[in-house]
Amino acid sequence: MTDAQTDASASKWRSAVPILGWLPKYDRRAIAGDLLAGLVVAALAIPQSLGYATIAGVPVMVGLYSIPLALVAYAILGSSPHLVVGPVSTVSVLSGSLVADLASGDPLQAVALTSALAIGAGLGLVVGGVAKLGWAAEFMSRPIVTGFVFGLVLLIVVGEVPNLLGLPSESGDVFARALEIIANLGALDPLTAAIGVSSLIVLFAGGAFAPRVPWGLLVLIGTIVASSVWSWADRGVVTVGQVPAGLPGLSLPDVSVSALPALFTGGLALAMVGLAEGLSAARLFAAKEGYAIRTNQELVATGAANVASGLSGGMGVAGSLSKTAAMVRAGASSQVAGLAAAVIVLVVIAAFAGLLTALPKAALSAIVIQAVWGLMDVRALRRYQRIRRNDFNSALAAMLGVMVFGPLYGLLIAVGLAVLGLVYRSSRIDMEVMGKVPEEKAAWGSIRNHPERRTYDGVLVIRLDAPLFWANAAEIQDGIIAAVDADPTVRALVLDLEATSQLDTTSVDALELLLSQLQERGVELYLVRVFFGARRVLRRAGFDAKLGPDRMWHSIAAGVSAARKAAHLSGKAHAQEVEEADDTPGRERIAVDDANGFGNGDDEEPAVVPVGGYQDPYNAHRRRWWSRFAR
């Protein structure tokens, strides 16, 4: 093997396993800061993981088991030096809702199903990363994710209030639970309520005045000590109860074959929710700290973390915004801090797990509520309402979907909204009639609000402001015909397809129908600025042969020139157009030729003047565009 091949192989391994690249270059002077950051992360992760385990409907130790190996797996494979993985609220509540339907009240089966869901989510993420499907992480818009998380937080808070106040647990949607809580307030346990409310006050007040102090860990330790000294369990306070000692073993969860289909779909849901939260945190700190993350590598790393968590008896994990922020504030420089946090949590599991027996569930609920409260982003909702009403409506619909139908169906509603919004906005195309910009060579722009821009008798130039595809093809074809029929002098139509980089069968069929309808009216069709991918589809469909030679051009100016020449319109003006269309000496035409490689976006016409009269295409549906031509 040559030196070049060796270097290429080493580079490939460093790309697939990032720790091989950064660990040999690690600056030992940063070890103190990383160890301190690891301690801070562990102090925050331990109480949160216990609370998230209760949300998921499993014993508190399942939350602790989720941390160590997940941190190690991400440290080895992750592309972010700061992201911290572990149990998070969104994944926990979704996992709990899925397991509740499958476990039939069996606590042992609930633990096995929870771990199996984590493994399923992890495998799905790894496959997605290897298959380069990271682009799918961008599918749900930020408003929809905001609304989905907002609804989840409300669901979590309402679900934790009974434990916080010593009330009986209720089932149903958020609204039904809230009404039952209000109706049962007279039956609350005074001591439990005092513990829960005082813990909540300490967490919120302490976080406001001294945000860097691990108040969750202090509340955890304080309530355990108080519960042991004053025997709160004997006085009616519900505690965590018996906690197994020792480190977890590695094994596959014992689940039935009949549960595998549900676990597969549930794992994909967990993967989607966790990925949305984890990538948001990773990108936020990558932008702040000035480094880049690789989306597909993040899928692999987070997937490996989930598999590691599931094999060690843990639950689904994801990148955590709060723990990552704490790690950065503590001065971490690399994933050595994550490895340090993993070791600390292992020590806690091995030596101190038995102390959790006396922990009041009211204090645990307070820790959960405080941990998720900040995820309700009211400011973002107000911003969506101010900027664009449709974004606010999408966030509200996703939030209500979670609150009424639960996390899983709420997620499906959120995805459905994303698909519907994408198709709807893509189908609302505005069409601009183009004119020649005065004193600009080969520059064309919309004539809307620009009467000085020159049009030519007999030639109609139309630009689509969004890609032509199956959802809008019929409307575009009908609209163009309406525009042509509105002006009986039109003899040639020049259609600018610059916005369309790809075509599908439906859009090709629409273009063929448009061609035949124009031919019936004695109007010739010219296509301009057609990218290579679109031309390739047109050629495979045989459309270019039906269109005819010299009907596809690099620029609007050249297309108009060819149309005017073919229609014998104003020879003097045509000569001027040829001169304006091509400043290359001795070149008479610039028709599209696939052999010259045109279509990669590098050789478009030199100037496109910004359109002053441009209007938001998303709001184009408020007016029927063809009415402009009829006026």
Residue 347: which residues within 8 A CB-CB, separation 6 or more? none
Pairing between strand 444-446 and 431-436? antiparallel
pLDDT computed for residue 593 by the predictor: 52
Collapsed DSSP state (helix, strand, coil) of residue 379: helix
Torsion (CA) 318, 321, 323, 326 in degrees, nearest 10: 160
What ranges make up the beta strands (E) of 5-153?
85-86
- E-state strands within 489-592: 492-496, 524-528, 552-553
Cβ atoms 188, 166 nearer than 8 A: yes
Tokens of 89: 């609220």
Supply φ then ψ for residue 15, to 5 degrees.
-70, -40
The residue assigned the tokens 């273009």 is 511
Confidence (pLDDT) at 289: 83
Give the per-residue pLDDT at 454. Answer: 86
Cα dihedral across residues 223, 227, 232, 234: positive or negative = positive
DSSP 237: -
pLDDT at residue 347 tops 80: yes
Q: Is 400 exposed, middle or buried (0-12, 13-18, 19+ CB in 10 A)?
A: middle
User: What does the mean pLDDT of the chain come to?
Assistant: 84
Phi, psi of 335 (to 5 degrees): -75, 0
What is the domain class of 429-630 according to CATH? alpha beta
Domain boundaries, the chain: 29-242+258-421, 429-630
Provide the percentage of residues in the chain whose pLDDT is more than 70.
Answer: 88
**How far is the CA of 314 from the CAs of 4, 115, 251, 352, 382, in angstroms?**
43, 6, 11, 18, 37
Distance in angstroms (rounded) separating the CA atoms of residues 446 and 536: 28
Entry pTM: 0.72
Give the pLDDT confidence of 233-265 residue by residue, as tens digits: 999 999 988 888 778 889 999 998 888 888 888
Q: Which helix (H) or strand (E) holds 444?
A: strand 444-446
**How far apart (Å, rounded) are the C-alpha atoms in residues 411 and 548?**
49
User: How many other β-carbons are positioned within 10 Å of the β-carbon of residue 445?
Assistant: 23
Calculated CA dihedral for residues 241, 245, 250, 256, nearest 10 degrees: -30
Confidence of residue 591 (pLDDT cuts 50, 70, 90): low
Who's near 20: CB < 8 A, 6+ residues apart?
A: 13, 14
Measured in Å, how far apart are the chain's first and last C-alpha atoms? 74
Q: Which residue has the tokens 């409506």?
A: 393
The tens digit of pLDDT for each residue in 531-571 reads 998 999 999 999 989 999 889 998 998 999 999 988 776 54
